[in-house]
């Protein structure tokens, strides 16, 4: 029997479907050392963002050679050493289509939150205050949204921003996209200088260096707002805090952090920051779609030869 290990959870409907197809599904999280032992007895491993699949785990899996497939339920695969897995004969897949709309909607949600000071207004009213003057915000209509990264989530965010009357510019590693002619491709420096709102939509990359750092913040407009629903490592949190304090950055909306669960209390309690606990794909619809894509990958690998 083909055995599937699911370490970070999966939609119940997907588990049920796999079991109906004759697969054995084990849903349990393991710390790295224990995971290295467990993968020796499974044919496929399904993870989200919490489980890191690095060389020690892959070396352990290679000892028995049983593990043939790793699936990341989500868009990026930066928590998996993909090239090393491939060297060991292990295929790596993700579910790029499943959560794009959900993450894009959260990015827009944070955009509204920072434009209208919703986080501060909510907390202050719960504390019995009536801070009407302090909650004066800005309209997003007519403003420029700069998207750094223009994959599926970036494209979905652009559609929603355009519908709200925003001008959308974007930059990416591969250059202008034919299917994105209604938006303007610009260089990174141009985007930093022109955007009123900047939203990140790209993976962390191998070097894992912050993109939003002191140098790049200095190139931005005064009063810019920054949204990050991509990867926490993309933002230098201390540089962001400094910019929030001196007014260079007006506000920030964050769903991801350098360390999760987040321990930077200065950042997540800052009155100019809207925060959520990495819930970009946490919608009922996204979870169902992710489960469906996972099932498709597993069936294609083990049932269709």
- CA end-to-end span of the chain: 16
The residues, any chain, with a CB within 8 Å of residue 218's CB and separated by 6 or more, are 248
Residue 188 and residue 90: Cα distance in Å, rounded? 36
How far is the C-alpha of 34 from the C-alpha of 20, rounded, in Å? 28
Q: Single out the catalytic residue among 259, 260, 266, 285.
A: 260
Q: Pick the catalytic residue: 116, 201, 270, 278? A: 278
At 212, phi and psi to the nearest 5? -90, 90
262 within 8 A of 288, measured Cβ to Cβ: no
How far apart, in Å, are the Cα atoms of 193 and each of 198, 216, 219, 221?
10, 10, 6, 6
- Tell me the torsion sign for CA atoms 239, 243, 246, 248: positive
Asked if 270 is an active-site residue, the reply is: no
231 is catalytic: yes
Q: Cβ contacts of residue 196 below 8 Å, gap of 6+?
A: 143, 144, 145, 221, 223, 224, 225
Active site (annotated) includes residue 278: yes
Cβ-based burial of 27 (10 A; exposed 0-12, middle 13-18, buried ≥19): middle
Tell me which of 231, 270, 289, 297 is the catalytic residue.
231
Q: Is 131 exposed, middle or buried (0-12, 13-18, 19+ CB in 10 A)?
A: middle
Catalytic residues: 231, 260, 278
């Amino acid at each position: 029997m083909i055995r599937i290990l699911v370490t970070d959870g999966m939609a119940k409907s997907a588990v049920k479907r796999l079991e109906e197809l004759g697969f054995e599904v084990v849903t349990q999280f393991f710390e790295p050392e224990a995971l290295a032992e467990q993968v020796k007895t499974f044919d496929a491993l399904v993870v989200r963002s919490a489980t890191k699949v690095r060389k020690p785990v892959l070396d352990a899996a290679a000892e028995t050679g049983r593990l043939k497939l790793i699936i990341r339920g989500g868009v990026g695969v930066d928590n998996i050493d993909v090239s090393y897995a491939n060297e060991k004969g292990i295929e790596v897949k993700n579910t790029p289509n499943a959560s794009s709309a959900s993450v894009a909607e959260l990015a827009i949600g944070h955009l509204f939150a920072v434009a209208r000071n919703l986080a501060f207004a909510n907390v202050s009213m719960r504390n019995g205050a009536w801070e009407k003057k302090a909650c004066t915000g800005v309209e997003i209509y007519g403003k420029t949204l700069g998207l750094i990264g223009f994959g599926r989530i970036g494209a979905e965010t652009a559609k929603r921003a355009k519908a709200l009357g925003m001008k959308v510019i974007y930059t990416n590693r591969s250059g202008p996209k034919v299917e994105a002619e209604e938006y303007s491709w610009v260089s990174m420096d141009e985007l930093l200088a022109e955007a009123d709102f900047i939203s990140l939509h790209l993976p962390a990359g191998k070097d894992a260096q912050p993109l939003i750092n002191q140098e790049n913040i200095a190139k931005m407009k005064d009063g810019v707002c920054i949204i990050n629903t991509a990867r926490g490592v993309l933002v230098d949190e201390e540089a962001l805090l400094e910019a929030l304090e001196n007014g260079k950055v007006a506000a920030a909306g964050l769903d991801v952090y350098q360390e999760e669960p987040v321990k930077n209390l200065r950042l997540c309690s800052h009155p100019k920051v809207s925060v959520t606990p990495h819930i970009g794909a946490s919608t009922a619809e996204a979870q169902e779609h992710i489960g469906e894509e996972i099932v498709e990958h597993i069936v294609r690998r083990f049932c269709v030869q």
